[in-house]
């Protein structure tokens, strides 16, 4: 699964592509901004990768293993309710968590997947 976001150049918050101003810092988002998901954290590049369709002959876990062999610098994250894993590539730390206002956003914001409902 690849989710397109606009990363705020002021605070780094990941906003949906429908937003015109950052939900975190309320500053305007750049118009015509690339709708990719690459962002820079402390100089380390972190990228989510489009996941190719799962071949019918492979089970879900085998598909993830095949993807991580192809993208050796990636981890596959399975999100409940999503049909495909999310591949996250990066060097250095990859932080999974929930964004808390006023703090640096995590690499993968679990609020986007209902984590705020789970405590």
First to last CA, the chain: 24
The mean predicted confidence, pLDDT, of the chain is 68
Q: How confident is the model over 48-86, as pLDDT tens digits?
A: 555 555 555 545 666 666 766 766 777 777 777 676 777
- Name the residue range of residue 92's domain: 5-117
Q: Contact at 8 Å (CB) between 81 and 93?
A: no
The total of structural domains in the chain comes to 1
Determine what percent of the chain is predicted with pLDDT higher than 70.
Answer: 53
pTM, full prediction: 0.41
Distance, CA of 78 to CA of 72 (rounded, Å): 17
């Amino acid at each position: 699964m690849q989710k397109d976001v606009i990363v705020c150049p002021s605070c780094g918050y990941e906003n949906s592509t429908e937003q015109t101003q950052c939900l975190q810092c309320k500053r305007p988002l750049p118009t015509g901004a690339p709708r990719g998901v690459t962002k820079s954290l402390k100089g380390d590049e972190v990228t989510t990768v489009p996941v190719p369709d799962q071949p019918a002959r492979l089970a879900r876990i085998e598909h993830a293993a095949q993807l991580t062999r192809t993208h050796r610098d990636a981890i596959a994250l399975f999100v409940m309710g999503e049909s495909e894993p999310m591949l996250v590539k990066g060097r250095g730390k990859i932080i999974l968590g929930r964004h808390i206002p006023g703090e640096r956003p995590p690499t993968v914001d679990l609020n986007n997947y209902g984590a705020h409902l789970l405590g």
